[in-house]
Amino acid sequence: MLVRTRSLAALTGAALTGVALAAGSLAAPAVAQPSGAPVDGYAVAGAAVADLGRGLEADVLADPATGEPDHLADPPGPLPPGGGTDLRMPSSYPHQPELRVFPPNYADATERNGTVSHADLAPRLTQLMERSDRVSTQVVGRSTEGRDLYLVTVTAPERRSETARQAAWREEIRERPGRAARDSDLRAGYKAPIWVSANIHGDEWEGTDAALRVIGRLARANDDGTRHLLEQHRIMFSLTLNPDGRTHATRSTSLGLDANRDMITLATPEARSYVRTTQAVQPLFTADFHGYTDVLQVEPAGPPHGENYEYDLFLPHAYAIARQVEDDVVAARIDGNTYYDPGSGGAVREDTGFIKIPYRDTPSGWDDYPPVFTAQYASLHGAVTSTVELPLGPTGRTTTRADAEVNTEVAVTTMTSMIDYVHTNSNAMLADQIELFRRGVEGAPKVALTEENVDQVPGPDEWKRLWDAADDQEAVRLPRAYVLPVGPGQRSASDAEDLVDALLFHGIEVERLAAPARVGGTTYPAGSYVVDLHQPLRGLASSLLALGSDISGKVPAMYDISAWSLASLWGATVDRVGTTTDGPIGETSPVRGAGPRGSVPPGARYVAFDVAGVRDHRALNDLLGQRVAVRLAADGRAVVGPRGLRAAREAADRYRLRFVTASRAEYVAAERSEDLTVAYAGNQDDRLSLLELGFDDLVPVSAAGIEEAAATGGTTGLDDADVLWVGSSLDLPPGSAGHDHVRSWLRDGGAIVGSGAGAFAAAAAYGLVSGTTVAGEPAGNGIVATRTPGDVLDDHAQDHGFVYPAVWFADLGAGTATELTYGSFLAGHWPRSDGPGGKGSSAGPGQRAAVGQAAAVSGKMGQARAFVFGTSVFFRTHPRGGLSQAATAIHWAAS
């Protein structure tokens, strides 16, 4: 068995193979900013992680308690049972603990542009706390490499009784908004939180420096305005949510993932910290600072607008804030700053009087549709939000010291302007936040904001003249609840429980039926999970669970993904029931954590469990890794014999598995399975998804590496591998040493599994499959219906998949079997096909062309097998149902 790849060297070493972490075929196409820099973090992942690898071993952080090396966090797995959402806030202010000091990194990227390093934050914060009783600091998480994530609060001192009163009012606003709206003491005394997140993309540095300057000014100023501000508010700053990227000059975290695309999936500890802080702070306003777009850019964003946002409560103040920032930054006449030219749409040095405001200035391509970003996520918690893009400097490379100084001054002015606006308009904004929670708690029908009703929205109205049909929200008919059934009606009990844990982590209220309930002709057993949309965070709950809309005809381009439904993509059976005006769904009790404890039937000699979900596959691979004899039955169950009962009991506890009694005959008839070593050619999505499934014996490979090793008699990486996963490409020309080596390996029983055109080409090069590949529009992404005509995936079949873009396989030759087919495109953005041939644009076929086509195929030749997906099963580790399908295919191919 190979060394398990959970160490620092293993998690970073994949980048050093050259192509292993380069942007693969599943990576989202980059959307160009004005500077030409890619927007999507995956476009720079290869260079970013390669940079991380240089010299990192010498800079591994030490655990302060033990002095031992503090390794990278484990790869993404299920969120902790019970949600794990509580973030302990201070019981009084100031809260000034001793902060651990981190050693300087000898190659810290901040040395190149003169910005503040993470290692310097603790000393600076300690000095600020020593000099002012207005400044408090708490550690609200740790980065992937173990660096502390700081939340700094600047406010007038509070005794314990006052802090407790503020906490009670915060809860009243969320849980009892009707009462809060009538509470005159709350309106007069609530210290509405203002929250600035300064640095979540590591190589967009200056927000941190600006936040420190603003903190210093607020701590020192003795004027009446500052004292009144701090008596009325808590001003809070997340100085950096990606200190690893800040240190190594990477946009992504050290897992190779973009934390500002991770607010739904929560695969990174950095995103988890943001979510927990959002819940604990419940900000009235929050801003997230980024760069670089040639000219200062401040949201609100342009169309399309997500249908689950209460946009009438968001947009009036969001646009007014952007306009005040524009006025204040222009008036500041910051030397070296740029301005927006409405005529050309570009940045100029001359003072035009404008910054860039996407809602006003960008017709499409900078939308607020998915809540994967910090600002859009926080708005579903009742906050007015802004994403701020600083002007000067190229993403992916350090800014100059001169540019950094300009950006810092721009950021200081922007932060100060935003704080001033919120302070001035706090009462009106608080009333809107209370109203958002009231609509959720009372189950009010969702009213879409459209051209027909914009004139009825109270508050600042400058934004109204800019609203047009493209801005109109899609109409939403909210259900009364989403139900996750238990028992035979549930595709995967483990996926359902993991989904419930994810909802709880997000702060969504989940209940369980105390008795069977009949809804719409379906009887749900007692114990089924109910997500009632009569709750404060109903917008977030709906956004996470709803299928979404096909918005292909709405705008020509999207900034990021256009569909993300956990109910459709995370492997569980989730039913939408009733309408928001219906009564409750039966008698229920609150859920603190999903699922009972695992169990093994007492006295049974043979036991089995369903291998239907991600956690089941992880348990299977764990048992196999312990050399437990596990056999896979034709019905998709894993069967364990008498010698494995002790390990089965341990797995039941660790993975919350419920084993059932099996027979010896079932055990004998089942197919033997083995602990697998998987070689992979792909990016961070492939590596992390395989790890999450429990395939922890991983070997990164590349075409160049295999060719060189085969030609020189070295180790190719395939020598001990059972399966080759191809997530990008593996182009080895026929007749080359590398091609011959792979062919010999396949003849000995190797297998190729993967996703996309590159994987199909690799399998076809050795005769395992035949046909042609067709790729849909490169930027087309979303949720598609699928059918399962084949035998490999039919035991726990799924009826949805995610594509970015869709790939399908046509003109299949003899011996190539169709395992999965595409149905209708259900939600997302993929230009429709109305013309002959099904073409959506010159870039690729439209969505209609995919219907009925093969979305996954398999093939065999001798002992070798292949399985190739056209769906994006590993995209950002998000579509957990796709992960399970991939694991099933890997075990089938290796058998």
Instruction: Give the containing element (helix H, strand E) for 484.
Output: strand 481-484
Q: What is the pLDDT of residue 215?
A: 98
Q: What is the pLDDT of residue 821?
A: 98
Tokens of 785: 């219906």
Residue 620 has pLDDT above 90, yes or no: yes
At residue 844 the predicted structure's pLDDT band, cuts being 50, 70 and 90, is confident
Residue pair 805/778 in contact (Cβ under 8 Å)? The answer is yes
User: What residue has token string 């850019």?
Assistant: 297
Residue type, 561: I
What is the mean predicted confidence (pLDDT) over 5-31? 28
Under 8 Å CB-to-CB from 23, ≥6 apart: which residues?
42, 43, 44, 45, 46, 683
Q: pLDDT digit string (tens) for 322-381?
A: 999 999 999 999 999 999 999 999 999 999 999 999 999 999 999 999 999 999 999 999
Q: How far apart are CA 96 and CA 132, in angstroms?
A: 10
- Quote the pTM value: 0.91
Q: What is the pLDDT of residue 20?
A: 26
Q: pLDDT digit string (tens) for 851-882?
A: 999 999 999 999 999 999 999 999 999 999 99
Residue 113 has pLDDT above 70, yes or no: yes
Smallest CA-to-CA distance from 120 within 130, 132, 112, 111 is with 111
Under 8 Å CB-to-CB from 501, ≥6 apart: which residues?
78, 79, 80, 81, 82, 83, 593, 594
Q: pLDDT digit string (tens) for 411-463?
A: 999 999 999 999 999 999 999 999 999 999 999 999 999 999 999 999 999 99
Smallest CA-to-CA distance from 724 within 693, 688, 750 is with 750
Other CB atoms within 10 A of residue 452 CB: 9
Residue 31 has pLDDT above 80, yes or no: no
Between β-strands 297-298 and 384-390, what pairing exists: parallel, antiparallel or unpaired?
antiparallel
Tokens of 759: 């994987």
At residue 11 the predicted structure's pLDDT band, cuts being 50, 70 and 90, is very low
Smallest CA-to-CA distance from 37 within 149, 158, 203 is with 203
User: What residue has token string 């209708």?
Assistant: 824
The number of angstroms, rounded, from the C-alpha of 56 to the middle of its chain's C-alpha atoms is 25
At residue 105 the predicted structure's pLDDT band, cuts being 50, 70 and 90, is confident
Mean pLDDT in the chain?
90
Q: How far apart are CA 481 and CA 464, in angstroms?
A: 33
28 or 406: which carries more pLDDT confidence? 406
Per-residue CA distances from 136 to 82, 237, 270, 457, 643 (Å): 29, 10, 21, 38, 57
Query: Dihedral sign, CA of 680, 251, 551, 436?
Result: positive
At residue 574 the predicted structure's pLDDT band, cuts being 50, 70 and 90, is very high
Under 8 Å CB-to-CB from 624, ≥6 apart: which residues?
630, 673, 674, 675, 676
3-state DSSP helix/strand/coil % of the chain, to nearest 5: 35, 20, 45
Q: What is the pLDDT of residue 79?
A: 65
Above pLDDT 90, what percent of the chain? 86
At residue 394 the predicted structure's pLDDT band, cuts being 50, 70 and 90, is confident
Residue 64 has pLDDT above 80, yes or no: no
What is the mean predicted confidence (pLDDT) over 81-95? 81
Residue pair 751/895 in contact (Cβ under 8 Å)? The answer is no
Q: Where are the alpha helices (DSSP H) in 546-582?
A: 566-569
Q: pLDDT digit string (tens) for 812-840?
A: 999 999 999 999 999 999 986 544 333 34
Q: How far apart are CA 883 and CA 339, in angstroms?
A: 46
3-state secondary structure of 726: strand
What is the mean predicted confidence (pLDDT) over 67-93? 63
Describe the crossing of helices 737-747 and 703-712 by its angle, rounded to 10 degrees: 90
First to last CA, the chain: 18
Using the 8-state DSSP alphabet, how is residue 658 labeled? B
Q: How far apart are CA 28 and CA 803, in angstroms?
A: 10
Indicate the Cα dihedral angle 111, 115, 118, 120, nearest 10°: 90
Tokens of 8: 């620092």
Residue 579 has pLDDT above 90, yes or no: yes
Other CB atoms within 10 A of residue 487 CB: 11
At residue 78 the predicted structure's pLDDT band, cuts being 50, 70 and 90, is low
Smallest CA-to-CA distance from 90 within 146, 162, 185, 148 is with 162
Q: pLDDT digit string (tens) for 176-227?
A: 999 999 999 999 999 999 999 999 999 999 999 999 999 999 999 999 999 9
What is the mean predicted confidence (pLDDT) over 654-668? 96
